[in-house]
Chain A
Amino acid sequence: MEVLKDILELLGKGKELKITHLVYKANLSSNSIKSYMDYLIENNLIEQINNKKRNTFTITPRGMAFLKEFEKIRIFSESYGLNKF
């Protein structure tokens, strides 16, 4: 869950970022980031923007809401064993 927060925090600064930036800044390997990105896209927390030159990612309003509530959600999820990320 911490990794999800880190990715959202990076995107939450208002910039569109390429996957290579996220790999570098979130301190992840390029293989491991894919599952996290898939999860975030599936849950509409981030979205992929397909430009002609490059593919970038941006945070959605739902992602922002998640980020604001993150710490509470994390503790609540932990309490009831829902931290299956």
Chain B
Amino acid sequence: MVTGLSFGEFYGIDSLIELLIFAVSLQIAYYSNRIYKILKERDYKLLSLGFLFIGLSLLFKIISNLTILERIKIDDLYFLNHLFLEFGSLSITYLLSFSIYKFMYLIGFLFLFVMTTEIKNKKNIIMYIYLGAVTIFFSIYFNSLFHLTIALTLAMLTMNFYENYKKVMNRNTKTVFLAFFVMMFGHLFLLFSEDLPLLYIIGKITVLIGFASLLFNQIQINNEKKNKIGSPEGHSRTSRKGKRA
């Protein structure tokens, strides 16, 4: 039997993609947390936690990638014996890290969903928590349900960010809306990747494009010129009519 450790499927491309998404997520989480420290607004905390969970989940995904056994030659007489001995110890790490990845990834997007949705009724919150817990539990065991749940959550987020874009039509709101839209498609590709393996890498790249768009938005924000405090341009009253209500 020939066995070997891979760096994930498709010779590590997916691990590399996940590492990039990890970096983007942490960047957004850090910045949002910085604003939270200034404003103490709940939504910034949720945004920060959401991206933190998404980012950290991908570390567990990379660990799970490392444990995937590659190239198993079936004609080995001791195949089952070897598989039991070698896969047994690895599968614990794999199952644990893959389950933690799924759990944290789902929780991360759930935080973002709560952030964009104003849930006020306590009865509704209990219902959401219950349904969320059930979905997370089953998603850990069923891969397709996991991607479907993420795709649906992303569809809701996309709609909310589209509403935001309609309210404030600018490049940044458009970028965020499109980023989540692209990510949703990425997870739809991943949903069908068990039948068509090529869709796995297409899905991964599509998700990466979504996160890269968020990074692009973040770079634009960071490059924003500092507000000209006290300057006539920064404090102009000429365009305003009358008193502000």
Contact = CB atoms under 8 A, between A and B. Distances in A.
Interface in B9-52: 31-32, 34-35, 38-41, 43-44, 47
Given A3-B244, A27-B237, A80-B176, A69 B38 contact: yes
B229 A67 contact: yes
B245 interface: yes
Q: How would you classify the secondary structure of chain B's contact residues: helix, strand, loop or mixed?
A: helix
B156 to A, nearest CB: 13
B222 A66 contact: no
Interface in B212-231: 217, 220-222, 224-227, 229-230
A66 B164 contact: no
B176 A27 contact: no
Contacts of A45: 38
Contact of A76 (B35, B40, B115): B35
B227 A70 contact: yes
Contacts of B164: 78, 80-81
Interface residues of A, number: 34
Interface string B179-194: 0000000000000000
A83 B170 CA distance: 14
Interface of A: 3, 5-6, 9, 12-13, 26-29, 32, 43-45, 62, 65-73, 75-84
Interface of B: 31-32, 34-35, 38-41, 43-44, 47, 115-116, 160-161, 163-164, 167-168, 170, 172-173, 175-176, 217, 220-222, 224-227, 229-230, 234-235, 237, 240, 243-245
> Which 4 pairs from chain A and chain B are nearest by CB?
A81-B164, A71-B227, A79-B172, A79-B176
